[in-house]
Homo-oligomer: A and B are copies of this chain.
Amino acid sequence: MDSFNRLEEIFRKFPGIGPRQAKRFVYHLLTQTDIDIDDFANHLKNIKSQTVLCESCCRFYTIKAGVDKNLNTICNICSDQNRDNSLLMVVSKDIDLLTIEKSKAFNGLYFVLGGNIPILEDFPQDKIRQKELVKKVNLLSQSNTLKEIIIATSINPEGEHTAMYISNILRPLITTSGKNIQNIKITTLGRGLSSGSELEYSDGDTLKSALENRKVAR
């Protein structure tokens, strides 16, 4: 297959990209200089060697130039001594983690599932990093520092299904003979009015939480 058609095929597999936009991307490349294209290809070739999946939280991070990839397997968040290791937040995707980091609202540890579990999925364990999560939680609970696992998935059917699946997986891990000896909590993010919410269109669950969580006006 020629490179035009092959690149079109590759772009079609990009998230959210249909056949027409894939073609448009290839035409866009054709208007770039040879130098730009070479630069693109070189960074492509480098990205996997520069980026590592953190052994501890399963997020992708960039290692510094010159550092041996095999010696650097824990990301800067996981190895940061100032993070609060009593809190573990479980998110679906790397981008969710970045959004939360940007908000500066959280200073604990993370675990990235790598996806969500579709409703009616026959093999849920294949859709997320389940084994790695179990290993991580076991490790943390053995160290006696963990106090709370925050399941931070989106508030839509897939996200809520994933949250329920995860909490069912995790609950036995933090219980010994039916008792939660270490008193580790499993929580979900609070609901309420989010930016842009109009009262008129808000559902009962959201309104109930918004009322429970009301705040003194500034």
Contacts and interface: CB of A to CB of B under 8 A. Distances in A.
Interface in A7-35: 7, 10, 13-16, 20-21, 23-30, 34
Interface in A129-172: 150-156, 159, 163-164, 167
A102 interface: yes
Contacts of A156: 195-196, 198
The A contact surface, by secondary structure, is helix
- Number of this chain's copies in the assembly equals 4
A68 B163 CA distance: 55
A19 to B, nearest CB: 11
A200 interface: yes
Contacts of A20: 95, 200
Contact of A187 (B24, B106, B205, B216): B216
A27 B188 CA distance: 25
Given A10-B43, A26-B47, A193 B192 contact: yes
Nearest to A92: B199
A91 B15 CA distance: 30
Given A37-B45, A37-B48, A214-B150, A100 B207 contact: yes
A197 B60 CA distance: 24
A190 B95 CA distance: 25
Contacts of A15: 21, 24-25, 28
A99 to B, nearest CB: 5
8 contacts: A2-B50, A15-B28, A40-B44, A103-B202, A103-B204, A150-B214, A155-B193, A190-B210
